[in-house]
Every structure is written in structure tokens, then in C-alpha cells.
Amino acid sequence: MKIFLSILFIISATVSYSQATVNSSTFGMMEARWLGPGTMSGRITAIEGVAQDGKTIYVGTAGGGIWKTTNAGASFKPIFDKYCQSIGAIAIDPKNPKIIYAATGESNMRNSVSIGDGIYKSTDAGENWTKLGLEKTEHIAKLVINPTNTNTIYAAVPGPLWSSSKERGLYKSTDGGKSFEKILFISEDAGCADVAVDPQHPDTVYASTWEFRRKPYAFNSGGNGSGFWKSTDGGKTWKEIKNGLPAKPFGRIAFTVAPSAPQNLVAIVEANETGLYISADGGENWKKQSATFNVVSRPFYFSTIVIDPKDPKRVYRPALSFSYSSDGGYSFADASNEGGWVHSDHHALWINPNNTNQLYLGTDGGVYISLDKGATWSFVQSLPVGQFYHAAVDDRKPYNIYGGLQDNGSWTGPSAASGGVGNANWKSLNGGDGFWVQPDPNDIYTAYAESQGGNINRINLVNNKAVNIKPQQAPGDDKLRWNWNTPIVIGAANKKNLYMGSQYLYKSTDQGRNWTRLSPDLTTNDKKKQEQENSGGLSADNTSAENHCTIFTVAESPLDEKLIWAGTDDGNLQYTSDAGKTWINVAANYAKAGIPSQTWISSIEPSQFDKRIVYATFDNHMYGDHKTYVARSIDMGKTWTLLSSSEFTGFAHKIKEDPLNKDLLFLGTEMGLFATLDGGQNWFRMKNKIPEYVLARDIQIHPRTHDLIIATHGRGILIVDDISPIRNLKKETAEKNVVLFPNTPITLTMGQFGGGGFPSTGGWVAPNPPSIPPIKYYLKDRVSSGEVKMDIYDPAGKLVQSIPGGKRKGVNMIDWNLSMKPPKIASGGSKLDFSAFLAPMVLPGDYTVKLKVGDSVYTSVIKLVHDATDKNFTLQDRKLQYKTAMDIYKMHEQLAGVVDTINARQKLIKDNLSKVTDSSLKKMMIAYNDELEKLRSELLATKQKSVFADEKKLREEITEVYSGVTGQEAAPSNLQVQRVTVLQQEVKKKEKESQQILKKI
């Protein structure tokens, strides 16, 4: 019996727990705005198009999922937002283009590359996806489908970048992806980098294997595991390709088979002497060709080489720049910049097989289209897949966002703009790779931005001039070590403090003109981790991306400027409570909580509520450990509590404490954004138009607007406007069925951002936040039965507006334009008249809101106020405007009454005419109808057949002055007021005329 009871208890506990859960659906209609921008896009990793139509194209990105266009690139939509955002390869079934395979985990193995979680398949052109497997492969470079038997698929798997793995190798499926078999395996340290199938003899398969490994402080490309292979039996047996190739060891080999003459192959073989090789006999023998710098540059990063589908002589090499050859690879030319600069660093190319002039190129800065075989290019401006590292905000109205992007410099853009935030609203501040950008809170004309390796500039935001303010090595100091992504931080307690860290922490209080070193070397200073000059393997590669033993994060306590925390990339977490005189390392303490040592301290968040409380995130992925580590200490770092959740995925980048609710925390990881409302006990994944596995690198909460700003590494900037309803959602509130949130006073306005004149002519345009604060309410559950409606009453108790409300679970928002219900206008005209959708704005005062949910009513009061600071529209002006607008409003309704009567009479005639047999009566009825029609045609436009032929009758005359007076935030002009009187007399006159005609019968 006891067992029985405990089973019952477990069941009921599960049920009651689920009812009280707060999760992403609690946010309801509070959805993220995708700010973009599209002016600089992000790294593109795969492009595949549908050969059958040439205009349906799938674009895979490094951190923004998959985007699909059905119009050859005029517009794109994301189709992979519920899954891993790092895309390695895409393949379309050549026989059935609705079947799409997506391999996650890109294989452009730079320091910041993200991992995947396997291969997915869609059978409906990307609408729905199913995961097929290979979950632990982390990186997949290519998918190739056998063109004859499309159930046969090959997947080239380089495998994990940071650790050894058995998952590497070449895989084959013969059942459309249901199962995969590993058909080529070299070792746990060498995977498969490329694969190609001979389209005419699909059992002939070529593959290259690649030995490659990254460590946090160096990488190596090349080794005995790298090789070039051929199979003629569909991968059962393999023969190594050697003849004519350079001496081993090899690094990465990129190669391609000419689709129209598949005995021809070209390959770029990374070796001690990297070169371009050509084979004309199916890979049996190779010849080295002279190649340009671009053709053989950076083989670990540029692994694309493509031959035209029809012309075996036309070879394309997208790499640092874009090269093409018309003679089979013997000589190369570079693309021109005539159509605009083509972003460097190329990783994907799709050629429309039915129009081989048409090319789509994927770069580190987005997609380009060529219509002349790659000679010139135009940029696709509508892909908001920028890879931000960090974001900061200022306090202007509307506020601006500042941030740095992978290979796309540093930028600033507004959170709102007239007509929406478009590409043109963004301004470039600094070049190179961008990371931290800080606006100076004390000087609206200044911001600080950097490029890789701590090259910081002070930037004049008016003329865009830059001054280099990088701290220099002082006498007696060690050589300075700057992280690729060097922290630039403004003090949270004292906003005059500007911090920057190499292995030492620096502070400036005069905008970087003078710096003070605040610390000794805060890192482990492990010399074995400082040999970056030897990094790269076969091809030397030292771009500061592997700099190590550096400070990676800095945070000043918002409660005390002398309390400063610093975290390093080699596991040290230190603080000073005396502005740098003494430092305490708490690395050993966090390790006791189960966090590995040597992690990157990816963010530190000193609490705004208690000096002793601090949060931190720890990133151990560079040691092959992708777990989420986030912890809190309540005793200055002496002891740490690991905050954990089964929801967490991805290594942690950023923890953010809400400035007003200490229990509201946000966590950004490599695979998702998470939130907790109970101080970290229960976490949920944020959705609400936030990609579920978004790479959330940085999080800000705007202190004035309460917006949540997310800097993503692949989806640009995302903003959830005004999170205060969630912030104020107590557990007991969340358990109520309906909560109508209190509103702060609303300033009467027709909108804050203006109309924007012409609509956007293209590119990415983000919607603005609500121009007028919406009325918000909370529903515990979705309302499935019953209506939701909001009635608004003026201070006199008169119903002025009635708006249907959302029924979503969580926070709902009703947009009220602060106007009353529009007038009833004369019906039956032949001209479009929008007066029926235009109403005068109400006057200031306390308005009662009655929210009806099913049979229940919830009431609150909203205070509407006049903006007394607006000298162009005084309260007196407003009252005159309202009175005049209402006079015309009544006129419209008066005219509608007259026309209704005429319409009714005409209907009566029409309905009865056929029943009348007496011909004289019939004649009389027709004549009477004509008389009515004559009058009607004077009251409103009845003849106009086209919007371009202007017919203006009384209704239209009224509308002209009505829309003028009602649609402006200004007092009516003298002539507008006069015009009202004239029209009133006219309406009266016509009313009389109609009465006389109506009296006749």
C-alpha cells in the first residue's frame, strides 16, 4: 500500500509541478526582433541550389542555421531555427529536390568554429527536419549523393577538433540516411576532409583524409594521417593516390572532379610545399601547376575548389579572394571589384547547372551573386547572419547598439529608426575582426573599438577618425600578450574607468590617453602555451588567434569601483578589492565545485545587489569538453555553487544578472539562451523567435528601456523589447489565470519613429519596437475556448475603443493607437476611402481598461498624458485639433445616415421592380430611382473605376479635411477650420434635399 501511495504521490507531484512551470512560453508575445544587420553578413559555409528551378537555394552558415530563398536571392527565410546553428554541408537529392540533407558542424577549422550534432533530413524542402545520426561527429565537411542511386550518400567527417575521436572518417549510407557505415577510417587523429563521386561511374569515389588538431594555444595541420584516396567499388576498398603528388606528410587536401569530364581532377595539396595539382586520368597521375598566392593560401581554412558543371576547363578557386581559370587550372585570374568589394575568405560556391553564368559565393561576410562566371559580384544584403562577439549600448533615444564581429569589424546601429532599422542605419567604426566596442558613457561622441590582438582605437563618432590607444610594454614588463578577443570594459561603478587586459590589467580614466597598470601577470604564464610562432603545422599560421595566457574578461563591481574581477584564458580567476594593490586568485576554489581547471573564464558578473556575490561562466571546449559551466559564489569566490540544468547545451559564454530582479538571470551558451526566474534553481531555454540553439555570446539589459539585447555569433543582434513584465512576474502571479499588468503613464503620440517616407528598397530591415507602449496582460494558459477582448472607456465612462486580444499563454500585448473607434462612413462608393479606419486621438485623462477573458472581466486604469515639452503641439492645440476632428467625424456619420436611407430606398425599388407588372408604376419607380441615384452621386464618388481617376464628391471632400486634421500632431490651420464650416452647410443642404426626395413616396 505504501508503494501505491508513493506512486500516486509521484504522479500527482509531476502534474502539479508542470502546472506551475515558468518557461519560454511565459514570454508569450514578447518575441525577439532580429535587428540584423545585413550590411555585413556572416560566414557562409555551404550553398546548394535546386538544379530543376535555379532559384531555390539553401544557404548554410557558420552560426545562423540554414536560410532558404525561393526567388534566387531576393529574400531569404531561416528554416533551421529549432536545431544546431553551425552548418557543415547541405545536399539536395538530385532526383527529388524536396529531399534535403543538412550536416551540422562546419569544418572551416578556425579558432572560433562551432560544433554540430549530426545529420538531419527533410522530405518537404526544409519545412520539417528529422535527425538521422552521427551525433558525436562534431564537424562534417561534405555530403555527396550518388546521382544514379540517390539513397546512397557519403559524409566526409573530419571529426572533433579539440580531441581524439573514433567518430572520424568517411561514412556511407545506402538507405537514404537511415543508417551510416564508416567506410574509411585512418586514426582517432585523422578524419575525412573531402569526398567526391564520379558522376558517370558512381562507384568511383575519391576522398582526402586530414590530420588536424587544435589546442587552446596552437594548431597543427598535417601528419601521416593525411592522404588522398580512391575507391572503384563504392568505398569497399581504397587505394592511396600518390603519383606526381609532393612528398608526404600532407595537410588538408581540397579537390574536385570535373562533372562533365570526370577523368579530370584538380587538387590543392597542403604539404611542405603546398601546390595545385591536376590529373587527367582519374587521379592515377598528377602534375603540379604553377599557382597564384590566392590559389594555395591558407589550406586549413580555404578548402573549396569547383569546376563548372558543363565546361571542364573552367575552374573556380574561392579562397582569400576569388580566382578562376579558363584553361583547366593552368592559369588563374582574380575577380574584379567593379560590382563592389567582395568580402575576403571564401568557403562555398554554387553554380546553377542550367545557367553556368550564375554563381553564388559564400564568404566570411555573406553571400554574393555573379551573373558573369565570377568576374563581378553583387552582395546579398538580406542575410542577417553576422557573428558578434560582444555588444554594448548607449543611453540615447532611441539607444544605439555597438559591437564587434568575426571578420567584419566593429559597428554601431540604432535600436529603432524611421521605417525600421535598415542596413543604411548601421555605421562602420573599425576594421579587422571586431570584438569589444564600448561607447563612452560620459562622451556621446566617443567609442572604443579594437581589432584582433588588442589593437584598440578611440573613435570619434562624428568624423570616424581613430586614435590608437593600445597600452605598450613598459620597462621591466614582459612582452605583452593580448588575446584575440581582448576585453575592453567600462567601469560599472565609475563609468570614467576604462579597462583593458593583456596578461596585466590596465586602467585609464582619461579615454586611453594615459594608462596605469593595475596588476601583475594575472595568468599562469605557462611558457609551453606561448609558442604561437610555431603554430599552423605544415603552413605557418600565427594571426593572434592562438595567443594564450592572457586576460579574457574583466568586471568592475557595480557597487564598488575598487573591487575588480579578472578572468584569464588559462583558468585564473582573480580579484582585487583595493583597486589593484593586491590580488587574490580563486581558481582553486571554483575547481572544488567540479569545474575543470585551465578553463577560459568567459564572463564574470559581480552582483548589483551584494558585493560578495559573483557569477562566472567557464569555457572548457578547447580541451574537448563542451559542457555548460556556470557558477555563483556568495562569499567573494571562496566557495562556488555550480548552477546546472538538464536544459543546458553548449559551453557557456555569458551570465547576466537582471539589474532590478536579483533572481532573474540569463545565460548565453554556444547552443542556446537560457533564463531563470528563481536565482538559478530552474532554467528554461528561451525561444520566442530566438533560434533554440542560438550562439549567444553576449547579453545586455538596457537600463532605461529594459530591453534584452543578445549579441549572437551568427544571427546578428536580437532584441526582446521591455522585459519588465517577466521581471515582475512573481511565482504567485504566474499561478493566476489572468493578470492585467499595470501601465506607466502613456504619452499621447501617433508614434515615435516617423513613417520613413518610401518603403525600404531591399536589404535587411528590422521592425521597430512598439511605437506606443502596448497594454500587457498575462494568461496562465492559452485561451482555447472563449473570447479575449479589451474595452476602453474614457474618463466619462463612454466606450471609446474595443480591441480583440491575444490568447497566447504568457504575456500578451494589445496595441492601442490611443484613438477612438473610427466613424461610420457613407457606404457604397466606388472610390477607396480610408476614413473608416481613421479616428481622432483621445484626450489626456484616466482611461479604464476592461479585459474580458471568457466570462471574466479584469479592470485597470491607464493614464494618458500630453507631452508638455512639445512646443509645436500645446495642450490647447490638441484640444482644438480634437474638437475640429470630432466635428468632421460627426459630419461623416451624418452623411452616412443620409446615404444609408437612400441605399435602403434604392434596394427596396430593386427588390420589387421585377414583381411590378404595371408599366407606368414601373416607369415611375425607375424615374424615382434615378432621382435618388443623382443625389447619391453628389454625395459620394460613384463613377470612379480606377484609383488613378480622381472623382471627388462630398464624402471625399470631407475625407480630405478629416485625414488632414486627424492624422497630424498639430493644431488645424485656419483654412482647415473654415473648411469644416463650409462642408457642414453642404451636408445640411444635401440632407434637406434627400428628405424632400424621400418625402415624395
Return phi, psi of residue 831, to 5°.
Answer: -110, 140
List 527, 528, 871, 945, residue binding another protein (CB under 8 A): 945
Nearest approach in angstroms of CB 125 to another protein is 8
List 820, 902, 965, 983, residue binding another protein (CB under 8 A): 820
Written as nine digits, the cell of 903 is 441605399
149: contact with another protein by CB under 8 A: no
Dist CA 966 CA 840 (whole Å)? 5
Question: Residue 556 carries which side chain, given as an amino acid letter?
Answer: E
Asked whether 35 and 708 are in contact (CB, 8 A), the reply is no
Q: At what angle do helices 954-966 and 875-913 cross, to 10 degrees?
A: 150
Count other C-beta atoms under 10 Å from residue 21's C-beta.
11
Residue that the C-alpha cell 590607444 belongs to:
469
808: contact with another protein by CB under 8 A: yes
Residues 503-532 that bind another protein (CB under 8 A): none
Name which of 130 and 357 has its Cβ closer to another protein.
Answer: 130
Nearest approach in angstroms of CB 72 to another protein is 12
Question: Where does this chain touch another protein (CB under 8 A) — which range of 180-188, 342-350, 358-366, 817-825?
Answer: 817-825
Nearest approach in angstroms of CB 25 to another protein is 4
Nearest approach in angstroms of CB 428 to another protein is 33
124: contact with another protein by CB under 8 A: yes
11: contact with another protein by CB under 8 A: yes
Nearest approach in angstroms of CB 812 to another protein is 11
Nearest approach in angstroms of CB 542 to another protein is 47
Nearest approach in angstroms of CB 613 to another protein is 33
- Cβ burial, residue 806 (10 Å; 0-12/13-18/19+): middle
52: contact with another protein by CB under 8 A: no
783: contact with another protein by CB under 8 A: yes
List 273, 787, 846, 930, residue binding another protein (CB under 8 A): 787
824: contact with another protein by CB under 8 A: yes
If residue 777 lies in a helix (H) or strand (E), which one and from where to where?
strand 775-779
937: contact with another protein by CB under 8 A: no
Asked whether 278 and 287 are in contact (CB, 8 A), the reply is yes
462: contact with another protein by CB under 8 A: no
424: contact with another protein by CB under 8 A: no
798: contact with another protein by CB under 8 A: no
Listed in order, strand segments (DSSP E) in 394-454 are 400-405, 409-414, 421-422, 427-430, 437-439, 446-451
995: contact with another protein by CB under 8 A: no
List 199, 339, 762, 822, residue binding another protein (CB under 8 A): 822
942: contact with another protein by CB under 8 A: no
Residue that the C-alpha cell 597542403 belongs to:
270
Of the candidates 146, 121, 117, the one whose C-alpha atom is nearest the C-alpha of residue 134 is 117
Written as nine digits, the cell of 492 is 560599472
819: contact with another protein by CB under 8 A: yes
Question: Where does this chain touch another protein (CB under 8 A) — which range of 70-78, 106-114, 693-701, 988-996?
Answer: 70-78
914: contact with another protein by CB under 8 A: no
List 472, 744, 785, 917, residue binding another protein (CB under 8 A): 785
6: contact with another protein by CB under 8 A: no
Q: How many CA atoms lie within 13 A of 856 on its CB side?
A: 10
473: contact with another protein by CB under 8 A: no
Dist CA 189 CA 101 (whole Å)? 26
Name which of 130 and 290 has its Cβ closer to another protein.
Answer: 130
946: contact with another protein by CB under 8 A: yes
Residue that the C-alpha cell 529531399 belongs to:
99
**Residue 654 region by backbone torsions, left for phi larger than 0, else alpha for psi between -120 and 50, else beta:** beta
Instruction: Give the three-class secondary structure for 923.
Output: helix
Radius of gyration of the chain (CA): 34
Dist CA 713 CA 710 (whole Å)? 10
Dist CA 272 CA 212 (whole Å)? 15
903: contact with another protein by CB under 8 A: no
290: contact with another protein by CB under 8 A: no
Name which of 498 and 788 has its Cβ closer to another protein.
Answer: 788
List 74, 77, 531, 923, residue binding another protein (CB under 8 A): 77
Name which of 758 and 837 has its Cβ closer to another protein.
Answer: 837
Count other C-beta atoms under 10 Å from residue 160's C-beta.
24
Nearest approach in angstroms of CB 832 to another protein is 5
Question: Helices (H), strands (E): how many in the chain?
Answer: 8, 68
- Cβ burial, residue 949 (10 Å; 0-12/13-18/19+): exposed
247: contact with another protein by CB under 8 A: no
Residue that the C-alpha cell 575507391 belongs to:
231
784: contact with another protein by CB under 8 A: yes
**C-alpha separations of 43 from 57, 59, 278, 377, 714 in Å:** 17, 11, 29, 17, 8
List 166, 495, 581, 782, residue binding another protein (CB under 8 A): 782
Q: Which residues pair with 751 in a beta bridge?
A: none
Q: Mention every residue, 6+ apart, whose C-beta is less than 8 A from residue 337.
A: none
Asked whether 527 and 575 are in contact (CB, 8 A), the reply is no
Q: Which residues pair with 506 in a beta bridge?
A: 500, 517
Name which of 55 and 242 has its Cβ closer to another protein.
Answer: 55
Name which of 240 and 787 has its Cβ closer to another protein.
Answer: 787
117: contact with another protein by CB under 8 A: no
221: contact with another protein by CB under 8 A: no
Q: Site size for another protein, by CB under 8 A? A: 49
Residues 829-868 that bind another protein (CB under 8 A): 829, 832-837, 839
List 947, 974, 999, 1000, residue binding another protein (CB under 8 A): 947
List 294, 297, 801, 884, residue binding another protein (CB under 8 A): 801
15: contact with another protein by CB under 8 A: no
Count other C-beta atoms under 10 Å from residue 98's C-beta.
13
Sheet of 560-568, strand order: 551-557, 560-568, 573-576, 584-585
- Please list, residue by residue across 963-999, b when 16 or more beta carbons sit within 10 angstroms of its beta carbon and e when fewer do: bbbbeebebbeeebbebbeebbebbeebbeebeebee
Name which of 17 and 834 has its Cβ closer to another protein.
Answer: 834
1: contact with another protein by CB under 8 A: yes
Give the interface with another protein as residue ranges (CB under 8 A).
1, 3-4, 7, 11, 25, 28, 70-71, 77, 124, 127-128, 130, 781-787, 801-804, 807-810, 816-817, 819-822, 824-825, 827, 829, 832-837, 839, 945-947
